[in-house]
Amino acid sequence: MTQKATKPVIETPPRLTSLAHGGGCGCKLSPSVLHDLLSASPLASPFKNLLVGSETGDDAAVWQIDDRTCVVATTDFFMPIVDDPTDFGQIAATNAVSDIYAMGAKPLMALAILGMPLGKLPIETVRDILAGGARACAQAGIPVAGGHSIDSAEPIYGLAVIGTCRPDQIRRNSGAQAGDSLILTKALGVGFYSAALKNGQLDADGYQDMLASTTQLNVIGTSLGEDKDVHAVTDVTGFGLLGHALEMARGSDLRLKIDWPRVPLLKQTVELAKKGFITGASKRNWSSVSEGVVLPDDLPEWRQHLLTDPQTSGGLLIACTASHAQTLLDRIKVAGYRSASIIGSVEKGQAGIDVRS
């Protein structure tokens, strides 16, 4: 008589974050390590239809099909930043779709990327992670059309996402122009919040603040591709504000000026930063960007690390015509990004960043 296979019973499931050495976009390799890894990769220049590849560290790849249609493709996945499986799935999916929005494109569909430590998590937990991802995709108006799964040492979830746009809608991170203003659409501080959460020091209000930010889709990016006064866009994620801003500065061969007092912060960010909830990724990010950034002499170290704090599912950094900046900011706020702020400007000069206090 053949016995039926029985699934293992896990009586007390572990916290998701306890199964991962890092969480969210804080898991990303530092900019300097990534640059070293890609430096020996062959250039994609022989492919004339590849309008955007890996040369400037842009948010997604773009392939032109014809005069009116481009395919935009990206992939993003990471380990748990929160313990609630549905929240984790929704955050990871929201973060992945953001790369399509950051290019000025519209997402079409997604494929799930799933790695789970078999025997450590109950099947219900994994289902909830997938359900959270499906929720984010439903809010973006796209299906999860398939995917791939493996048995892995740590829980991993994310998406590969496909979108489309016209060639003139593409907004790269390297298109900033001298005289532009800089707009940031979401507040910083997610890395500090996640570090506090992992140490059991984030209260319920703080968790809701973090969740509201990390599950807010950057859907405003699609309309930015229609705005001729918007010259460059990138999303601020694992490299922190300075890391992604430096990519914009170097790609555009211009100097960015960031006004520290105008940078929006989540409500508890300053308190958590002063308590020392600084991620290892923030320190790695600073090591990678320090040669290209000039800080005020009186800037406290915790503020320095805030500027390199890894943002999971962060906002968009936008370079636009200065005379159009306030109108655009008002439109972004009306669309629901209430923390959005004009945080600086773009000027001629050696590629890099000056932070002003």
Last residue of a domain, one of 111, 131, 165: 165
Q: Are residue 154 and residue 189 in the same domain, yes or no?
A: no
The verdict on whether residue 298 carries a ligand-binding annotation is no
Is the distance from CB of 230 to CB of 328 less than 8 angstroms? yes
Task: Give the rounded distance of the alpha carbon of 167 from its chain centre.
Answer: 23
> Looking at the 3D structure of the chain, how many domains does it have?
2
Q: And the tokens for 301?
A: 């170290």
Q: Are residue 201 and residue 342 in the same domain, yes or no?
A: yes
**Closest of 254, 316, 311, 252 to residue 279, by C-alpha:** 311
The verdict on whether residue 28 carries a ligand-binding annotation is yes
Q: Are residue 332 and residue 186 in the same domain, yes or no?
A: yes
Instruction: Read off the pTM.
Output: 0.89
The verdict on whether residue 57 carries a ligand-binding annotation is yes
With a cut of 90, say whether residue 144 has pLDDT above it.
Answer: yes
User: Does residue 201 fall inside a structural domain?
Assistant: yes
The verdict on whether residue 56 carries a ligand-binding annotation is yes
C-alpha 91/C-alpha 211 separation (Å) is: 8
**What does the pLDDT look like over 108-117, one tens digit per residue?**
999 999 999 9
Q: Are residue 110 and residue 189 in the same domain, yes or no?
A: no
Last residue of a domain, one of 165, 191, 226: 165
C-alpha 97/C-alpha 118 separation (Å) is: 27
With a cut of 60, say whether residue 292 has pLDDT above it.
Answer: yes
With a cut of 50, say whether residue 295 has pLDDT above it.
Answer: yes
Q: Is 137 a catalytic residue?
A: no
pLDDT band for position 7 (50/70/90)? low
User: Does residue 40 fall inside a structural domain?
Assistant: no
C-alpha 161/C-alpha 75 separation (Å) is: 6
Last residue of a domain, one of 104, 132, 165: 165
Q: Are residue 199 and residue 244 in the same domain, yes or no?
A: yes
Q: Are residue 207 and residue 160 in the same domain, yes or no?
A: no
Q: What is the pLDDT of residue 24?
A: 53
User: Does residue 211 fall inside a structural domain?
Assistant: yes
User: Does residue 291 fall inside a structural domain?
Assistant: yes
Is the distance from CB of 258 to CB of 249 less than 8 angstroms? no
The verdict on whether residue 235 carries a ligand-binding annotation is yes
Domain residue limits at 122: 47-165
**What does the pLDDT look like over 59-95, one tens digit per residue?**
899 999 999 999 999 999 988 999 999 999 999 999 9
**Catalytic choice (25, 137, 165, 320):** 25
The verdict on whether residue 76 carries a ligand-binding annotation is yes
Q: What is the pLDDT of residue 1?
A: 43
User: Does residue 33 fall inside a structural domain?
Assistant: no
The verdict on whether residue 99 carries a ligand-binding annotation is yes
Q: What is the pLDDT of residue 283?
A: 86
User: Does residue 10 fall inside a structural domain?
Assistant: no
User: Does residue 319 fall inside a structural domain?
Assistant: yes
Q: Are residue 156 and residue 92 in the same domain, yes or no?
A: yes
User: Does residue 35 fall inside a structural domain?
Assistant: no
Alpha helices (runs of H) in the chain, residue ranges in sequence order: 31-38, 85-102, 123-140, 190-198, 204-214, 220-224, 240-252, 269-274, 280-289, 301-307, 325-334
C-alpha 264/C-alpha 329 separation (Å) is: 13
